């Protein structure tokens, strides 16, 4: 399968790249910034996997960057079987509503919600040429209305909106047999999740790969699930 993963240089994104390459898929690893020191781990993987891994510059906040990345792949007649919108930020963590920096809130919405919109907007024509396609939006339990908590304002808002994007895309694309899921990956040991997190992002990546490879059939009322495919509370 041909798989595009955003935010692929570290964290869950890097684990997804590893799992996909292990399973012999072709990976397009989107990175915000392709400076050598930022993509060191991907460059190491490239030495082993060669052409099976293509590193592409893709800043999900930058319309031109996303459009250019899609047109570059289109020019070499790439089709995609899966798009994983993984890139994300978690900012303004402990702030109360009175303390919130609105520019930081806009940034979270830009990366976490508008980012996946941009990626789907420009890459959908390539996905439509693929097979057994899927769009996997990496969401969070912070995007549950039922379990709303105080704090993480911009993050929670951005993930609720991402879940709505997933539902809408699911309605829009289901007649084309393109699976759309919004996946809570668990609290993972990454830069974002920190050292105390209980989940290994490699395990999460394995669960997500099973969804991409359609080893798991998910027929829930809503497309918001955890990385094992279990329904999340909306």
Ligand X SMILES: NC(=O)c1ccc[n+]([C@@H]2O[C@H](COP(=O)([O-])OP(=O)(O)OC[C@H]3O[C@@H](n4cnc5c(N)ncnc54)[C@H](OP(=O)(O)O)[C@@H]3O)[C@@H](O)[C@H]2O)c1
Using CB under 6 A, list all residues that contact ligand X. 6-7, 9-13, 32-33, 38, 59-61, 86-89, 111, 138, 140, 185, 187-188, 190-193, 197
Question: What residues are paired with 231 via a beta bridge?
Answer: 225
Minimum distance from residue 87 beta carbon to ligand X (Å): 3
Q: HEC string of the chain?
A: CEEEECCCCCHHHHHHHHHHHHCCCEEEEEECCCCHHHCHHHHHHHHHHHHHEEEEECCCCCHHHHHHHHHHHHHCCCCCCEEEECCCCCCCCCCCHHHCCHHHHHHHHHHHHHHHHHHHHHHHHHHCCCCCCEEEEECCHHHCCCCCCCCCHHHHHHHHHHHHHHHHHHHHHHHHCCEEEEEECCCECCCCCCCCCCECHHHHHHHHHHHHCCCCCCCCCCCEEECCCCECCC
Residue number with the smallest Cβ distance to ligand X: 11
Minimum distance from residue 148 beta carbon to ligand X (Å): 15
Minimum distance from residue 177 beta carbon to ligand X (Å): 25
Minimum distance from residue 151 beta carbon to ligand X (Å): 14
Q: Which is nearer to ligand X, 7 or 130 (CB)?
A: 7
Q: Which is nearer to ligand X, 80 or 84 (CB)?
A: 84
Q: Which is nearer to ligand X, 13 or 130 (CB)?
A: 13
Q: Which is nearer to ligand X, 4 or 124 (CB)?
A: 4
Minimum distance from residue 131 beta carbon to ligand X (Å): 26
Q: Which is nearer to ligand X, 121 or 129 (CB)?
A: 121
Q: Which is nearer to ligand X, 63 or 177 (CB)?
A: 63
Minimum distance from residue 30 beta carbon to ligand X (Å): 6
């Amino acid at each position: 399968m041909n798989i595009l993963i955003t935010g692929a240089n570290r964290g869950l994104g890097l684990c997804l790249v590893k799992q996909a390459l292990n399973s012999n898929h072709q990976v397009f690893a989107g990175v915000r910034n392709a400076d050598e020191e930022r993509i060191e781990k991907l460059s190491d993987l490239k030495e082993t996997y060669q052409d099976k891994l293509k590193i592409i510059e893709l800043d999900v906040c930058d319309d031109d960057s996303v459009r250019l990345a899609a047109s570059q792949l289109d020019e070499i007649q790439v089709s995609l079987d899966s798009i994983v919108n993984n890139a994300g930020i978690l900012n303004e963590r402990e702030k109360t509503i009175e303390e919130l920096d609105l520019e930081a809130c806009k940034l979270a919405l830009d990366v976490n919600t508008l980012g996946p919109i941009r990626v789907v907007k420009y890459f959908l024509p390539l996905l439509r040429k693929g097979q057994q396609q899927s769009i996997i939006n990496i969401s969070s339990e912070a995007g549950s209305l039922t379990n709303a908590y105080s704090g993480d304002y911009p993050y929670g808002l951005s993930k609720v909106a991402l879940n709505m994007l997933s539902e809408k895309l699911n309605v829009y694309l289901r007649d084309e047999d393109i699976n759309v899921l919004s996946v809570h990956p668990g609290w993972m040991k990454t830069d974002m999740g920190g050292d105390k997190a209980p989940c290994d992002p490699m395990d999460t990546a394995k669960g997500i790969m099973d969804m991409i490879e359609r080893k798991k059939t998910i027929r829930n009322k809503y497309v918001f699930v955890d990385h094992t495919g279990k329904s999340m509370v909306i």
